A and B are shown apart, each in its own frame.
Chain A
Amino acid sequence: MSLDEVVGRFLLGGSCVALFAVAGAAFKPKTFAGLFGAAPTVALVSLSLAFDEHGSEYVGQISHAMILGALALLGYSAICLASIGRPHVSVLLASVLSWGAWGLLALALHRLLGAT
Chain B
Amino acid sequence: VTPEFSLHQLTKCHWRSWLFRFVFGGAVAVAAGCVAELLGPGVGGLFLAFPSILPASLTLVKSQEGRDAACDGARGALLGSLGMLVFAICVWITARWQEPVFSLALALTAWIATSVGAWWLMFRGEPAPPGHARCTPVAGVNDDGARHGQ
Contact = CB atoms under 8 A, between A and B. Distances in A.
B28 A42 contact: yes
Interface in B64-104: 65, 67, 69-85, 87-89, 91-92, 95-96, 100, 103-104
A26 B10 contact: yes
A9 B26 contact: yes
A95 to B, nearest CB: 4
Contact of A21 (B18, B65, B70): B18
A8 to B, nearest CB: 10
Interface residues of A, number: 86
A42 B34 contact: no
Q: Number of contact residues on B: which range applies?
A: 35 or more
Contacts of B9: 25-28
Task: Determine chain B's interface SS by DSSP, over half rule.
Answer: helix
Interface string A86-108: 01100110011011001000110
Contacts of A36: 53, 57, 76, 80
A32 to B, nearest CB: 4
B77 A6 contact: no
A29 B78 contact: no
A33 B76 contact: yes
Interface string B116-150: 10010011001011001001110000011000000
B42 A66 contact: no
Interface string A69-83: 111111011101100
Interface of A: 1, 5-6, 9-18, 20-22, 24-52, 56-74, 76-78, 80-81, 84-85, 87-88, 91-92, 95-96, 98-99, 102, 106-107, 110, 114-116
12 contacts: A9-B30, A17-B25, A24-B53, A28-B4, A30-B72, A31-B123, A62-B44, A65-B45, A70-B49, A81-B78, A91-B58, A92-B58
